[in-house]
A and B are shown apart, each in its own frame.
Chain A
Amino acid sequence: MKQNFLLQLHPLTKFYFSLFILVAVLIIPGYIFSFAVFPILVLIAILAGVTKEFLSIVLKALLSVLVIVFIMQMFFYPGDDVLWKAGIFSITQEGLDYGLLLTSRILAIGAVFILFFRMTEVRDFVKSLEDKGLPPMGAYVVLSTLQIIPEMRRQANTIMEAQKTRGVETEGSLFVRAKAFIPTLTPLILSSIASTEERAITLESRAFSAPVKKTSLHQLTKNSADRILPIVYVVILAGLLVWRFFL
């Protein structure tokens, strides 16, 4: 099976791209460029074949924030150039501009990071950071966190069902619902921390903290695009900086 070229790029190449967009969006004034970034990201998502997940997460995570940020700026940003007025509410040109600027930046920067994680396995990203010098312990912590979360959610549901069986109320007034929180969370935390001892023993039995170089079954390769692209980013950014501050 031939893999997608974009997905096959080295994780750090994709990560540098996200940082590149972040810096570019902050350098270039006005909201037109930042809004233009989004269609480009959608295009990349289509080429990488992750359009559906990308768009659904953008909608879920960013849409409400964008709407609220925009409304807040439109109504409350100080300005004199009044476009529309009703009672205590007024929309000013300055507020509209600032709202568009802020939302365009949040959209561009938020979307590029969402796209990054749609195109990169966290496992690969952590491995690439490990190659760059992140201690193996750090990599282990991040990856085991991702594994523990769904496991703990299941366990929380189990404990809640069990507590309901023995008569803890989870419906009703606020106070009744609040009282159900502690009998669910306490056993969850206590049983989870009890399992850390077993993890420690297991890791130590595989010489995890031994001060030697570790080998890995999971290897990442760099191709020529991975060597060229970071240089391209830096050159473009340098050009932008010169254009912005010296011309």
Chain B
Amino acid sequence: MKRSFKDDFNMMAMLLIPIAVAVNLVGFQLANVLRLPIFLDTIGTILVGVIAGPWVALLAGLITNLINAIFNPVYLPYALTSMAIGVGAGLLSKYGFFKKIPKTIVSGIIITFIAVIVSAPITVLVFGGATGNTSSLITATFLASGQQLWSAVFSSTFITEIADKVVSVLIVYFIVQKMSDRYLSKMNYGYLYMKRNNKK
């Protein structure tokens, strides 16, 4: 099926964006309330990527960070990370990576790499290596043990991101499984996950 860039932005997809942004923020807050050691702040972006495609997810990631930046400008440079995660999730979904659990975990690992590759340079170039979240402590430990700045930031980002992203994609997988065919049929990439379609 071939579709143009503009078709991705239909009314239903655009209305999904506010929900996705709110899910990102509320997911992060819930993880805080439950005192979980991971952020879970990209569930909404990944969800949009899976059912509405990479470009809508790019927009959802951008808006998430813009709205976060209203209260904390530190989030602003990381808009690039959110956008990259959205595009990555969308492309993986297009090639059927979210249909079964093993492939979902693989896509979680791929998304982790995307997140690390995009966010580590931002951390180094904009903030000199640390922004004050949990990974700063790990970065400092690596640096104290004699590692170079870039490799220390890359490894500490990877350690904090891997669990976060794999759990996030699994949550997205279970949520998409629970969505009704009626709703999925209205989303651009929803046909991939419709139960009736998959029986053939």
Contact = CB atoms under 8 A, between A and B. Distances in A.
Interface stretch (B14-22, B105-113, B114-122): B14-22
Interface residues of A, number: 65
Given A185-B43, A193-B16, A76 B149 contact: yes
Interface residues of B, number: 57
Interface on chain A toward B: helix, strand, loop, or mixed SS?
helix
Interface in B33-67: 33-37, 40, 43, 47, 59, 63, 66-67
Contacts of A47: none
Q: Is the interface of B mostly helix, strand, loop or mixed?
A: helix
B73 A188 contact: no
B179 interface: yes
A223 interface: no
B36 A181 contact: yes
A153 B33 CA distance: 12
Interface in A51-96: 57, 60-62, 64-65, 67-69, 72-73, 75-77, 88-89
A49 B171 CA distance: 45
Interface of A: 57, 60-62, 64-65, 67-69, 72-73, 75-77, 88-89, 98-99, 102, 106, 109-110, 113-114, 117, 122, 137, 140-142, 144-149, 151-153, 156, 160, 170, 174, 177-178, 180-182, 184-186, 188-190, 192-194, 196-197, 199-200, 203-204, 208-209
6 contacts: A106-B74, A156-B30, A178-B36, A185-B30, A189-B23, A190-B179
